[in-house]
Structure 1
């Protein structure tokens, strides 16, 4: 083709103007091959179009071309319709004339020509700039939506006459290249990117040409791309899983997903990336979730941290998937915990069965070592806490699962609940674990911080925290009254660390207990001065305890007949105390406390024995200072306690042959049974403890503990109901019960029957009144 003529055409001559600019258009669009357009050609074309559009002498009628475009025949002052029509026809013919070179893949041809055509279209847009700004703008403002600026007109012609007729071919070759890339072949991703991007540019909003429109992209590519991708990965995943295991499949998914992200970033629109992600999640993960679930528990059992974490990451965008993993983790923890605690129980039973100490097996106390039990709970928790960190990034769902599992197995397991109807022993064992550490006789090497951390951890999950407080307070009381605590500082240090877990009432009671111990020490020194050094009582240590703060109760069965040699000392204690506190009454708790007695029952030349005995046992031994033989009935009358108490405290003396029964086979409680203290006691130990062998002591203590817990809970529920009703004034029955349950759950698991009884009690006492509709009204 020849170069465009040099002389500008007459301004009002349409044909001359068109013939002048047409050769220049060929240069601009690339019809002349690699030849570019010169600035002179560009400016000549621009000027010719400008002159034509601004000429005021030409006829103001529409040509057949303009009429064809749907423009009404009218009078103008703006010119452009005729030349616009010619340009439209030219662009159509030009696009239709484009064809691939020999053996050139169609997609490569399409991309090559598209890149050149879009450059030319932008230049054309500039050439016809005046027409765009005036004639085109006027036509569009008049509602003619089939009129476009020249750049978009070129794109419309490309879409209608090259893209749409060859869409299936273009799309097939794009998908072919993508599949080859997925199969690890090297392809020119730029071709894919440009071809896909062309569909974005071809989406025009006829009402607003500046507004992005992805309709062509969505309908001609996106939908089919998602379908093809789903089918590709559906086949690949099924094939891979049939030949490899779940572990390898998850590794494959872990590799595939980021590959697709990179691919998406290279040639997909933002909206498609989300659809692609959803599709991949569905095909690669959701559709094979069951296979992964089936391997999940096995991986947990194998401690397959890497694979579990990989599964967690794959399921990260599937809330229901993570919920399933979390729920199965909770079940797994419960099962594993149950197994480990059952093994601990069996190993303890096996150890006891092989022990030569037959009496140890008969002791009415928990068989398992408290420390071993608490360590087992803590170790299970620590084990799965590490799993949460290593496998699940401490995701809240899995933290919740661990918490739920711990709340279960910390309270219900083979050791804590040996029989279905028994209450959980965990609160007691936790208190005994602390007791073992805090005793003066302990051989434990744990640090205070370590013990406190274990106590806080287990206490966090203990359902009935009030039971722990009760047991802890009772054991603390024993340590204090028996002088068997390592140090007050250590006791207070542990309590301080537990403060946020304990109730205010509990803390105040503990504080008062320590205050009582200090004031009792002052009283002890005053009494010691009064009774003097020659008293039959050597180191006497009276303790004055506030009845409302200490877990001890006066028991009428333990009413003793005090012998004269002790009475004067007791009188001195009472006198010294009442001098300072005349308004207070003292009650001796003979069922508590212990004594050390020197017994000159050894062979000649040997030192005397030191017997550790209860108060009742002390009275029995003192009676033998007056006579070496008594009948059961006579000795019982001298001591004065209830017969069952007397028999329980006498039995260890008979059992360990300090007192001989005659006849030996006769029932110990027979009033006529003869009891004689031996002249020479045979024992390898100089110090003998008879208190630990008293059988009914622990049963009595358990009864007192249960009674105190029951009474404390009754008071708590009653107070809780009063607080709620005082604030609410009226409350429906079920609402009131739910609020009480909610308040109580931080302390213990309240029973509905107990709440109902508390409500009935308050109704009887006229704190509450029933009103219509199953509600209550606050009266007081």
Structure 2
């Protein structure tokens, strides 16, 4: 473009000069010289006609004292240029032709790319018109007037896109289908074409505002419909010929592909509806098939595939609920099955060993019981952690299932009306764990406080566990069987953290009593040394226990303490009464133990040390005076009941410290049956244990334990009722029942009938008064 610039006031000459340049700008490379020539010609024309008018206006405004320049004249020039440009752009776009060797999509992308570059140049060339005339026209409400860049897009939309929209969209969708079938790889043309749809949608009222009307209406709807149809067919066919695990892998891969495609070629707006379509046809419609495969995956512990299923289903939150229910039911079944197998195994072992009377039929080892529970629980904790990534919903399902099978199973509740034995078995587990063990013993190597606390968390009757645990703790303390005080206190601290300070208050007081008893023993020994008493048992160890804190009852039946122990007892009572006036000592003889030195070993060997209950000591010590006593004579000497005497003497006969005549077991409690101490005791051990638990004691302890649990529950419910009514003053029956259940839930699950009984008791005690038949009022 070397010809001279046209006259500034000649529109025809100016447009004739500019038009060839416009074609070069839109269709090929732009030289700086040509660009500046076209820009100058348009600029000169736009400002030429208004220059004289502006000078006249300026002179008038100066004489009037107004220095504000008005460019109204120049703003009116742009209309003719704008009209010619509009017509030219329409003709240019219509003149574009497709090459024989290219598809319409390729043609569209090739011409669109160059056209949009040219549109940018044109926008700069017509900058003066954009800034003045276009801006003025649009401010006057003429929304059909656009800046040159937008005008270029409008012409493209009208004369290229609209006339060929079906062909273009079909080719794009066809290319996407070929990509899904792995027949083509390139996405560049698709990305450019689809992004052009976004550019072609603009808001005539606000040209800067994004408008996706073209993209959504012309492309997105058809794309989503095609996607639904494609994946619906593919998923149905795939599942007919492959298993669910392979299908999940396929679905996972497809979702990743579509996500990658969306990032490369689609607008952000499509990602959400595309995900919804994929979730519907790939996941929701085939969720039932996944549910059916879920138990098998759990059986085989296929954690990776379970995670894959979870990852898919969590994309559609409603589909997780059936999976959660399945997971919970499966854990229950596995827990119940494991415990049923344990019970059957225990029955077989008990049956095979019943000939020697070592075990009661169906006896359950608490360690194996808790171990079975923990193994099931840890298995599914691992599943939750690895496959479900610690999702709170699945953690809750695991907890719910654990509550069920831990509290109600073939061992815990063998009959529907049985109370759960899990608290008792867990307490016995803790007893085994915390008892002093031999140095070379590995019997508790697979036991831990963590396992104890895990099961404790799930038991419903925490009050029952506390009662059983406290009784066993009491035995460990008074019989010096606890491994260390530190371990015991650490467990109590964790129980307190899991429940409450009140929950462990009695246990804490028990340790305080043990410390006070130790100080009292030291004082007694010092007193005995000062008095020079030779008839005092030097190793006498007593425990003074608070009656309301310890799970023991004072001995209520006749018993004569051996004369060898009487001076020690009397001396201690004298000292205690001097120190604590008004307190009453009650002896718990059935829990007293001692050691007896017996010179009945083979000549040259040291004496035996016999560990006995105080009842057995009362039986054996008289044999210092005579070698033989009848059962009737021993009854008179000990003042024990026939039942207790029989139970106490049986181990002495069984382990051949005493010879019975007649020897048959059925004669042991006959008045004339004779018992003779052996002259030479035969045992490989020099320390021999005779103080085995008595069956009669075990029965009494079991009934006492249940009685204590029932009494504590009754008192707790009454306290809850009084506390609630004191705060509320008046409450109807249903509300009171619900609040009591809620408050008691952390300790046990009270029955409605138990709560009603407690309400009646409080009415009798005049704490409450029944009002209007269905409500209660608190009586201050």
Q: Same fold (TM over 0.5)?
A: yes
SS in structure 2 of the partner of residue 145 of structure 1: coil
Q: Tell me, in whole angstroms, the C-alpha distance in 1 between the residues paired with 2:228 and 2:599.
A: 96
Give the corresponding residue for 2:62: none
Maintained 8 Å contact 2:47/2:74: no
Q: Which moves more between the two structures, 647-656 or 758-767?
A: 647-656
User: 1:54 and 1:721 mapped to 2: Cα distance?
Assistant: 97
SS at match of 1:761: helix
- Equivalent position of 1:406 in the other structure: 402
Partner of 1:575: 574
CA deviation after TM superposition for structure 1 residue 221, in Å? 0.4
Counterparts of 1:161 and 1:456, CA distance in 2: 77
Count of residue pairs the alignment pairs up: 754
Change (3 A) 1:668 1:679: closer
What residue is the counterpart of 1:134 in the other structure?
132
CA shift in 2, pair 1:695/1:476, >3 Å: same
Matches within 5 A, 1:440-455: 440-442=436-438, 444-445=441-442, 451-455=448-452
Gaps of 5+ in 1: 59-74
Alignment correspondent of 2:767: 767
Q: Show the counterpart of 1:750.
A: 750
| TM-score for both structures, normalised by structure 1 | 0.87
Matches within 5 A, 1:613-692: 613-621=612-620, 636=635, 639-642=638-641, 644-646=643-645, 648-649=647-648, 658=658, 660=660, 673-678=671-676, 680=678, 684-685=682-683, 689-692=689-692
Structure 1 pair 446/20, CA: closer, same or farther in 2 (3 Å)? farther
Offset of 1:358 from its aligned partner? 2.3
Aligned position for 1:382:
378
What is the alpha-carbon distance in structure 2 between the residues aligned to residue 40 and residue 262 of structure 1?
44
Residue by residue, what CA displacement relative to the aligned partner does 1:174-207 show, whole Å, maximum 9, x if unpaired?
A: 0111111222233431211111111111112122
Structure 1 segment 667-746 matched on structure 2, within 5 A: 673-678=671-676, 680=678, 684-685=682-683, 689-692=689-692, 694-746=694-746
Q: What is the rounded CA distance, in whole Å, between the counterparts of 2:653 and 2:14 in structure 1?
A: 136
Match of 2:85 in 1: 87
CA distance in 1, matches of 2:738, 2:52: 90
Give the one of 430, 433, 449 matched to 1:434. Answer: 430
Please point out which of 184, 190, 194 is paired with 1:196: 194
Q: Is the 8 A contact 1:200 1:214 kept in 2?
A: yes
CA-CA distance at 1:565 after TM superposition: 5.2
Q: Say which SS state the counterpart of residue 673 (structure 2) adopts.
A: strand
Displacement of 1:45 after TM fit? 4.0
Matches within 5 A, 1:435-584: 435-442=431-438, 444-445=441-442, 451-501=448-498, 503-522=503-522, 525=525, 529=529, 535=535, 539-556=539-556, 558-562=557-561, 566-584=565-583
The more displaced of 631-640 and 565-574 is 631-640
Instruction: Provide the rounded CA distance (Å) in 2 between the counterparts of 1:348 and 1:695.
Output: 21
Q: Distance in 2 between matches of 1:491 and 1:125?
A: 86
In structure 2, C-alpha distance between the alignment counterparts of 1:137 and 1:458, rounded to whole Å: 77
Q: CA deviation at 1:216?
A: 0.7
Name the SS for the 2:335 alignment partner: helix
Aligned-residue offset at 1:35? 6.8
For residue 46 of structure 2, what is the aligned residue in structure 1? 50
2:506–2:550 contact (8 Å) kept in structure 1: no
**CA deviation map 1:518-543 (0-9, x unaligned):** 24533652575489775496743333
1 CA distance for matches of 2:298 and 2:631?
A: 65
| Cα distance in 2 between the residues matched to 1:684 and 1:347 | 37
1:97 corresponding residue in structure 2: 95
In 2, Cα distance between the equivalents of 1:459 and 1:367?
22
Indicate how the Cα distance of structure 1 residues 525 and 318 shifts in structure 2: closer, same or farther if over 3 A, else same.
Answer: farther
Q: Aligned equivalents of 1:650 and 1:197: distance in 2?
A: 99
State the Cα RMSD in Å: 3.5
1:43-96 Cα offsets, whole Å, 9 max, x none, are 2442255147747789xxxxxxxxxxxxxxxx9972433443333233222222
Partners of 2:30 and 2:666 in 1: CA distance? 131
User: 212, 220, 223: which one pairs with 2:221?
Assistant: 223
Contact kept? 1:139, 1:147, Cα under 8 Å: yes
Alpha-carbon displacement from aligned partner over 1:639-679 (angstroms, at most 9, x marks no partner): 44455545544555677774647696978777xx4222135
- Distance between the aligned counterparts of 1:682 and 1:413, measured in 2? 52
Distance 1:602 1:35, change over 3 A: closer
Give distance in 2, aligned partners of 1:490 and 1:621. Answer: 37
Greater mean deviation of Cα atoms: 342-351 or 300-309? 342-351
The CA deviation string for residues 507-564 of structure 1, in whole angstroms up to 9 with x for no partner, is 43333342344245336525754897754967433332211121111353x2324465
Check conservation: 1:431, 1:475, Cα contact below 8 A. Answer: yes
Structure 2 residue 364 is matched with structure 1 residue 368: yes
> 1:370 deviation in Å?
2.1
Asked if 1:177 is matched to 2:175, the reply is yes
Work out the CA distance in 2 between the residues paired with 1:235 and 1:4.
64
Candidates 347, 350, 360, aligned match of 1:349: 347
1:120 paired with 2:118, answer: yes
Q: Secondary structure of 1:413's partner?
A: coil
1:355 match: secondary structure: helix
2:236 and 2:647 mapped to 1: Cα distance? 76
1:424 aligned partner: 420
CA change 1:192–1:77 in 2 (3 A) is closer
8 Å contact 1:29–1:117 — kept in the other structure?
yes
d(CA) in 1 for partners of 2:285, 2:441: 55
Q: Tell me, yes or no, if the aligned pair for 1:602 and 1:680 is still in contact at 8 Å.
A: no
How far does residue 773 in structure 1 lie from its aligned partner after superposition? 8.2
Displacement, 1:612?
4.5
CA contact (8 A) 1:499 1:507 kept: no
Is this contact kept in 2: 1:648–1:695, CA < 8 A?
yes
- TM-score, structure 2 normalization: 0.87
Matches of 2:509 and 2:305, distance apart in 1: 52
**CA gap 1:342/1:23 in 2 versus in 1, 3 angstroms:** same
> How far apart are the structure 2 equivalents of 1:123 and 1:176?
34
CA distance in 2, matches of 1:770, 1:759: 10
Residue number in structure 1 paired with 2:69:
none
In 2: Cα distance, 1:675 partner to 1:595 partner? 26
Q: Is the 8 A contact 1:524 1:540 kept in 2?
A: no
Distance 1:184 1:624, change over 3 A: same
- Per-residue deviation, 1:629: 7.6
CA distance change for structure 1 residues 663 and 144 in 2, over 3 Å: closer, same or farther?
A: closer
Q: Distance in 2 between matches of 1:449 and 1:344?
A: 17
Q: Could you tell me how far apart the structure 2 residues matched to 1:52 and 1:278 are? A: 60
Query: Counterpart of 1:361 in 2: which secondary structure?
Result: coil
Conserved 8 A contact 2:380-2:398:
yes
Distance 2:443 2:209 in 1: 73
Secondary structure class of the residue paired with 1:674:
coil
More displaced 10-residue stretch of structure 1: 284-293 or 168-177:
284-293
Q: 1:536 and 1:726 mapped to 2: Cα distance?
A: 56
Q: Which moved more, 1:339-348 or 1:685-694?
A: 685-694
Q: Say which SS state the counterpart of residue 677 (structure 1) adopts.
A: strand
